[in-house]
């Protein structure tokens, strides 16, 4: 069976090469857009988002007690604690659907139950408090509030449904793991580990603090103007904590674990970002990808079931860097996109992307990935229709 699939893949690649439209300007424009998106992603997103996320994931994998993970997010944890903790945790992270992946892979590896782990996977990019505030300010308070309520609710609903659908497999997974938790002792106090993790999370949050609108003042603008000072202080704090509180072998284990996540995730992200840019265009939008943006706008101008489903489906495969979904959606709304499909795209788009799906599949398998993506698309479609009907 595997050999048959390999043969089909070879034939598909050969057919694609045979019919390659090398004389088409639109094709080469899409190729250029895919490379432009990779270039932009490497310059704007890897150093400040992904690398800190890899180090945080490595730290979680090495230094977070498996007992602590099992207590709050494990399959035996109380659901009234596990799911709110997993869902609300996304509010402190200004991450996109790709940056959250190493964090998800890390807590899943440490024994977190599938339900809480997938709740966190959705909540990380979807409940980003900065994006919700920006949504309310740019697209209106109705969309901002609906996005916040929908994202928190979805995280818990999706987590619970994933737990129920795959409860037998999860039970087998837990039986295959260690029954007795290891006695993980450390010479550091809890507050020292807390400072270490807070410094890394702070660097991730403040280094990516979004630029305020022109002429805007207030707390947001003040934090943005001081973000590099705050990031620098946090960086010094992190270096000091590593120098004074950690042993050499612990640091080696941390770096090795971080590299393991990077090695697993980066190649898949590269393939996914190239594909997303080729199909949908690079940063800044425009009709340069293989699929013109005008087609999308024409298909989501009302509040029909198809319009909301289409917005959810397309949004799920598009790649949105943190906060970029707001200006993109503003342009689509100005082109005639309905408010219901707009919410559907907001709930599905930032939480998923083609690169994100490829990596999730490598962590929890094809079936669970398909169900997770399907739940996000279906729930986003229903929420979009309800919102459009209310308005």
Report if residue 297 sits inside a domain.
yes
Percent composition of the chain: helix, strand, coil (DSSP 3-state, to 5): 75, 0, 25
Predicted TM-score (pTM) of this structure? 0.64
Contact 289, 281 (CB under 8 A): yes
Report if residue 241 sits inside a domain.
no
Q: CA-CA distance, 12 to 380, in Å (whole number)?
A: 33
Residue 127: φ, ψ to 5°:
-100, 5
Report if residue 234 sits inside a domain.
no
Residue 218: φ, ψ to 5°:
115, -170
87-96, 173-182, 251-260: least confident range = 173-182
Residue 14: φ, ψ to 5°:
-60, -45
Report if residue 217 sits inside a domain.
no
What's the pLDDT tens digit per position in 282-318? 766 566 777 776 676 678 878 889 999 999 998 888 7
Kindly report the average pLDDT of the chain as a whole number.
Answer: 80
Helix (H) or strand (E) holding 354: helix 354-364
Q: Which domain range does residue 61 map to?
A: 29-173+246-390
pLDDT reading at 59 higher than 90: no
State the pLDDT confidence band at 343, using cuts at 50, 70 and 90: very high
Report if residue 19 sits inside a domain.
no
Closest CA to 212 of 198, 204, 222, 202: 222
Contact 120, 86 (CB under 8 A): yes
What's the pLDDT tens digit per position in 249-259? 889 988 988 88
pLDDT reading at 373 higher than 90: yes
Of 350 and 334, the structure prediction assigns the larger pLDDT to: 350
Residue with tokens 């950690």, as numbered in its chain: 246
What's the pLDDT tens digit per position in 119-165? 888 887 777 666 776 677 777 888 888 988 898 889 889 988 998 89
Average pLDDT, stretch 361-381?
91
Neighbours of 90 (CB within 10 A): 26
State the pLDDT confidence band at 65, using cuts at 50, 70 and 90: low
Domain count, the chain: 1
Report if residue 179 sits inside a domain.
no
From first CA to last CA, the distance across the chain in angstroms is: 52
* Residue 187 DSSP symbol: S
Contact 379, 162 (CB under 8 A): no
Report if residue 45 sits inside a domain.
yes
Report if residue 18 sits inside a domain.
no
pLDDT reading at 7 higher than 60: yes
Closest CA to 207 of 215, 199, 217, 216: 199
User: Cα angle vertex 97, ends 69, 271, to 5°?
Assistant: 115
What's the pLDDT tens digit per position in 68-82? 655 666 666 677 777
343-352, 353-362, 372-381: least confident range = 353-362
* Residue 324 DSSP symbol: T
State the pLDDT confidence band at 94, using cuts at 50, 70 and 90: low
Q: Name, in order, each residue with C-beta under 8 angstroms of 295's C-beta and a sequence gap of 6 or more.
A: none
């Amino acid at each position: 069976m595997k050999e048959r699939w390999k043969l089909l893949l070879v034939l598909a690649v050969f057919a694609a090469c045979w019919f390659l439209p090398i004389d088409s300007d639109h094709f080469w424009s899409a190729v250029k857009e895919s490379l432009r998106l990779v270039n932009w992603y490497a310059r704007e997103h890897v150093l400040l988002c992904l690398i800190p996320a890899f180090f945080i994931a490595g730290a979680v994998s090495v230094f977070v007690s498996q007992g602590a993970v099992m207590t709050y997010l494990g399959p035996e944890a109380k659901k009234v604690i596990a799911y709110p903790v997993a869902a609300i945790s996304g509010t402190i992270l200004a991450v996109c659907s790709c940056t959250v992946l190493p964090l998800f892979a890390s807590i899943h590896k440490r024994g977190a139950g599938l339900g809480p782990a997938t709740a966190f996977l959705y909540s990380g990019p979807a409940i980003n408090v900065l994006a919700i505030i920006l949504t309310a300010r740019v697209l209106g308070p109705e969309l901002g509030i609906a996005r916040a309520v929908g994202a928190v609710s979805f995280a818990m609903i999706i987590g619970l449904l994933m737990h129920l659908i795959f409860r037998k497999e999860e039970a087998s997974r837990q039986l295959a793991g260690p029954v007795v938790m290891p006695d993980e002792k450390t010479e550091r106090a809890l507050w020292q580990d807390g400072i270490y993790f807070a410094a890394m999370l702070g660097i991730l949050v403040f280094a990516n603090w979004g630029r305020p609108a022109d002429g805007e003042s207030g707390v947001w603008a003040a934090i943005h103007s001081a973000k590099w000072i705050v990031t620098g202080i946090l960086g010094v704090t992190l270096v000091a904590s590593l120098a004074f509180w950690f042993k050499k072998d612990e640091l080696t284990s941390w770096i090795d674990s971080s590299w393991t996540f990077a090695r697993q995730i980066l190649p898949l992200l590269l393939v996914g970002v190239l594909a997303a840019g080729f199909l949908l265009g690079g940063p800044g939008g425009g009709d340069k990808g293989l699929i013109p943006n005008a087609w999308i706008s024409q298909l989501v101008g009302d509040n029909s079931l198809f319009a909301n489903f289409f917005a959810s489906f397309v949004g799920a495969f598009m790649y949105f860097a943190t906060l970029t979904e707001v200006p993109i959606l503003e342009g689509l709304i100005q082109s005639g996109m309905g408010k219901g499909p707009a919410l559907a795209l907001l709930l599905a788009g930032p939480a998923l992307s083609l690169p994100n799906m490829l990596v999730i599949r490598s962590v929890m398998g094809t079936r669970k990935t398909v169900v997770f993506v399907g739940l996000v698309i279906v729930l986003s479609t229903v929420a979009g229709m309800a919102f459009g009907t209310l308005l």
